[in-house]
Amino acid sequence: MTNATFVQQDAASLEGSQRYDLITTFDAVHDQARPDLVLAGIARLLRPGGTYLCVDTAASSTLADNIDHPVGPFLYGFSCLQCMTVSLAEGGMGLGAMWGKELALGMLAKAGFTSVEVVHSEGDWDNLYVATGT
């Protein structure tokens, strides 16, 4: 395979710049100890006009706005028992699965993304699709 590269490394210490046209993450950013550093590294690695596709939990950053979420209690429970605690165990930010769209958009902007489009897929109650470019 000449047009694909697989690299294993700490996502919070991504090295290099402007190497990729497309970077994807699937239900993973909220689990990272330092999601802010992960997002900044992804922004740095994208070529001009590149795209970052971030698939993550569709929820609000505000608890009260998630009351009617079809599986909100499950997601909060899973967040407390797995996502948040994994991050905190590594000295991280502890965002958890319910970090929410508002916090995600703020973190993407702070990481350097200038164009963010939030897309909801019909019939998918669990994931929020955020396609961003630098």
Q: What stretches in the chain show pLDDT beneath 50?
A: none
Beta 20-26 vs 46-57: how paired, if at all? parallel
Q: How far apart are CA 40 and CA 74, in angstroms?
A: 30
Give pLDDT, residue 54: 92
Structure tokens, 82: 């797995």
CATH architecture designation of domain 20-133: 3-Layer(aba) Sandwich (3.40)
Predicted structure pTM score: 0.89
In sequence order, what are the residues at sequence separation of 6 or more whose Cβ sits closer than 8 angstroms to the Cβ of residue 39? 29, 107, 108, 110, 111, 113
Q: Provide the residue ranges of all domains of the chain, joining segments of one domain with +.
A: 20-133
Structure tokens, 86: 């994994």
Give pLDDT, residue 51: 93
Give pLDDT, residue 75: 87
Question: What's the DSSP call for residue 2?
Answer: -
